[in-house]
Amino acid sequence: MFASDGSFEAKDVAAGLFALFGTFAGALLAFRLEENREKAREVRAQKTALNRALLVLGFHHNEIRTFRNLIAPHRTDIELAFNLPASQPPEQIDMRQKFDELDFLLDSSAPQVLFDLIIEQERFDQALQAVRQRNEFYVREVQPVFAAQGLNNRRVSMAELKSKLGEYLFGGALQGAETIREHIEGSNESIPVAVEKLRKVAKELFPDEKFLMFEKVLLPHEIAEEAAKAKAATETSGFGATPARVEE
């Protein structure tokens, strides 16, 4: 209010200032609360993304180990090319890395880990593709010739196999086996390394958070035991005719 001489009264000025300060403080508090909520949501999303990335790696490693167990009894590429039943890899259940949810790793102490995950996903995809291509070639190209030449369900020498299959089929089957072994072995070695790197970065970012852990890769003698079980299972679950037993 104005005083009789036209000036402001002190109490009115103080009241106005308090009202202005209260409005400002309330707005600032609301902003800070929303900022904290947003930060908490961001942190939760990052933790979830890290655990999901670890889960995907674990799933991929399990798939690779399954195929490794299948190929373990076939110690040479010749055996692998012609004695491995053509069983298809399972369909993927949205188990791929979501790199857009992991871009915050670029600001971490080890941004290289994001690039490693991209490479790991590509390596896994190539491994599955190699299995599918080999099996498709084996079923569509090799097995019909096996049946026509009477090669199924009996022992076959490599010389006879080369002669009756021809260079294209023999070489294609052998190349498919080599590619499968290369990709499966590569992924089997690299995935555990990627898991350890990612967990290390995750613990650096969130020391108090618990992140997924997986069992160690089977030792060689354990692989042999698991491979024997897998071989027995695939002999009844694989599709197509029973392959010939190739001897070198």
Residues 138, 86: contact at Cβ < 8 Å?
yes
Is 87's pLDDT higher than 80? no
Range scoring the smallest mean pLDDT among 22-36, 136-150, 233-247: 233-247
At 206 the three-state DSSP class reads coil
Residue 36: the pLDDT is 63
How many Å apart are CA 73 and CA 83, to the nearest integer?
A: 10
CA count, 13 A, side-chain hemisphere, 72: 24
Of residues 82 and 35, more confidently modeled? 82
Residue 47: the pLDDT is 93
Residue 9 CB contacts under 8 Å (≥ 6 apart), including other chains: 1, 2, 3
Q: What is the mean pLDDT of the chain?
A: 80
* Spans of all domains in the chain: 10-247
Residue 200 CB-density burial (10 A; 0-12 exposed, 13-18 middle, 19+ buried): middle
Q: What is the pLDDT of residues 185-218, one digit of tens each?
A: 999 999 999 999 999 999 999 998 888 887 665 5
